[in-house]
Structure 1
Amino acid sequence: MFRNESYGGGKGRTLIIAVAVVVPACLAGGLVYHAVGHSGGSEQDSAVRASPTSSPSASPTSAGTGGDDQKGSAPQADLAGAAPTAQATASPRPLNTTGVKKPLAGKVVVLDPGHNLNNAKHTAEINKLVNIGTARKECDTTGTETNSGYAEATYTLDVAHRVRAILLARGAQVKLTYDGDRAFGPCVDERARIGNGAHADAALSIHADGAPASASGFHVIAPTSVHVGIADTRKIAAPSYLLATTLRSHFAAATGEHFADYLGDGTGMTVRDDLGGLNLSTVPKVFIECGNMRNAHDATSLTDSAWRQHAAQGIADGLTAFLEGKR
């Protein structure tokens, strides 16, 4: 989601001049100490305190986080009489953020944008049956679209790009199963293998539904625990369910979208054993159906760029919470 006066005459003149010279030099040394040599406090605090534009009357709190860094500093009243020096007027060092640990550093996320715009041109290939353990299913489908022709594949890739940008900024490694660079597919079994091969900490397939026009809302799909043929989700069923519920709450909060009113008993959750992308996964993985493209209300949201950004934020926040062990 971000501190000259001069006096006339008499025998005291020499002493006064000497003090006027020594005080600025001492103060300059103090400023250099805070800007360069002092090891306490954050780098940001040090840079603020070294700035020549800091207010002479600023309190320790207004100058930064304060604390012990302020103890032993030159009195603020003396700073008003200090002549500027090269050290005092130098620009503060740029903040060093290279050592800041990002929340998802070391985590791997695989995003699976549902379908492919070119699938319709390759019906023979995508109709080929593949083994998903519990059955044999088509390699892929064309997906759905809104009544105005906005394709599900366009939506899913757009949102995947937005989610990727957010997760990359948080330090995650992000891999897409495809990035608009394939003639068709990939097939559902290959989509699962991509997540497995990346040893993903979490994988997500992004979709939008094609339910009857009267149905609306979003839902998340988790794998059931199956061990049939090449499908074995026993180890990932529980963490996938946790990912699903975490994602559900964050997506709802970010978009304001209600849980689907046409399945899952209004819980926004279903558990299935007939999706190859889930059955063949060996890493925690879920699907999200972000809305019903055939419903007028949902279609207005899905085709709106600002709403899609909210959707991406909700997805990224849900993935982040899951990976950080939060809800």
Structure 2
Amino acid sequence: MSYTGPDFDAPRPRRPRRGPLTVALAALVPGALLGWVVYEAVGGSGPGGGDRTASPAPASRASTLSSAPAAPASPGDDAKVSASPSARPDSSGPLRGKVVVVDPGHNPGNFRHPAEINRQVDIGTHSKECDTTGTSTNDGYSEARFTLDLAHRLRTLLERQGATVKLTHDDGAPSWGPCVDERARIGNTAHADAAISLHADGSAAGNRGFHVILPGSVHAGAADTRGIVGPSHDLGVRVAGNYLRETGEPPSNYLGEGTGLVTRTDLGGLNLSTVPKVFIECGNMRDSKDAALLTSGAWRQQAAQGISEGIVSFLRDS
């Protein structure tokens, strides 16, 4: 996902190694901050709204609106997952009656509709583009393909827990977008108990790791996040901790000061949400180590598992 866009605007499966990971993370992440994230995710109580605001990162890549994406890299087994129909929610599952909206960042068809996705929309604090094409690995595996595959995996896991899951777009419908304001509106209209937007970053090589983006307090125009800042923070902390545990992907080494958490007030998908919502940047597609994970179907299943466990933890306690 690009920080200049609206809402950012053959790899091998690898299992996490928990023992050595602890040592490696100690060199990357301040121990107290990492321990706090993991503690919160596995059962600690979320803080009551004292979010620390981080400045948006500088633009890390040029816009790709004017050109079609490169030939796609091997997607692992995303084609098989994408073709699988969604299962009905388990009526006896612990999340029975809960609604989760999953927002796959960008859309594979966006590059065919530059005029539509460049259209300005109001996000409360200012106007910005409807959407962007997103980023891709150096081998051409696009962020839009990654997020849609991850969304399918996540939907399956959550439905097994009894949740009703709605995607903001799916398998080419609509053929572009939706715009960032509409993505927020879908969650609001569904009265979602939790919403999450899935992304992968397009930062410089050497920048590694994931980060979860939390909504800051905004009250301007149509945007009023004051009622969701607290619960969204709780959701984000739980997603971050479970994602770290399941994937072994470290917290970002270039944003969030090692916590894996970043607060922003310039994203339409968060500003316009009236339900608890976070974004997750699952890794950096422009870094070779992260790209090897993001293009692995087996690893994407681990990523979906971690995100699912974070959402389940939040919904069980909310």
TM-score higher than 0.5 here?
A: yes
The one of 95, 102, 114 equivalent to 1:123 is 114
SS at structure 2 position matched to 1:324: helix
Number of residue-to-residue matches in the alignment? 228
Segments of 4+ moved more than 6 angstroms? none
The one of 274, 277, 290 equivalent to 2:269 is 277
Pairing of 1:172-251 with structure 2 (within 5 A): 172-180=163-171, 181-251=173-243
Residue of structure 2 in register with 1:258 after alignment: 250
The one of 297, 315, 323 equivalent to 2:315 is 323
Residue of structure 2 in register with 1:110 after alignment: 101
The residue type equivalent to 1:254 in the other structure is E
Residue of structure 1 in register with 2:147 after alignment: 156
Tell me the distance in 2 between the aligned counterparts of 1:263 and 1:204: 19
How far the C-alpha of 1:129 sits from its partner, in A, is: 0.4
How far the C-alpha of 1:245 sits from its partner, in A, is: 0.4
The residue type equivalent to 2:95 in the other structure is L
The structure with the largest alpha-carbon Rg is 1
Tell me the distance in 2 between the aligned counterparts of 1:176 and 1:214: 32
The residue type equivalent to 1:174 in the other structure is V
The one of 157, 169, 190 equivalent to 1:166 is 157
The unaligned stretches of length 5 or more in structure 2 are 1-89
- CA deviations on 1:241-294 (whole Å, 9 max, x unpaired) are 110001000000110010000011111110000000000000000000000000
TM-score (norm 1): 0.69
- CA deviations on 1:105-142 (whole Å, 9 max, x unpaired) are 01000000000011011000000000001110100000
Tell me the distance in 1 between the aligned counterparts of 2:185 and 2:103: 11
Pairing of 1:63-142 with structure 2 (within 5 A): 101-142=92-133
Tell me the distance in 2 between the aligned counterparts of 1:101 and 1:187: 35
Q: Which of 1 and 2 has higher RCO (CA within 8 Å, sep 6+)?
A: 2
* Percent identity over paired residues: 61
Tell me the distance in 2 between the aligned counterparts of 1:153 and 1:143: 7
Residue of structure 2 in register with 1:58 after alignment: none
TM-score (norm 2): 0.71
Contact 2:91 2:162 in 1 (8 A): no
How far the C-alpha of 1:182 sits from its partner, in A, is: 1.4
Residue of structure 2 in register with 1:298 after alignment: 290
Residue of structure 1 in register with 2:305 after alignment: 313
SS at structure 1 position matched to 2:250: coil
Over aligned residues, Cα RMSD in angstroms?
Answer: 1.1
How far the C-alpha of 1:102 sits from its partner, in A, is: 1.2
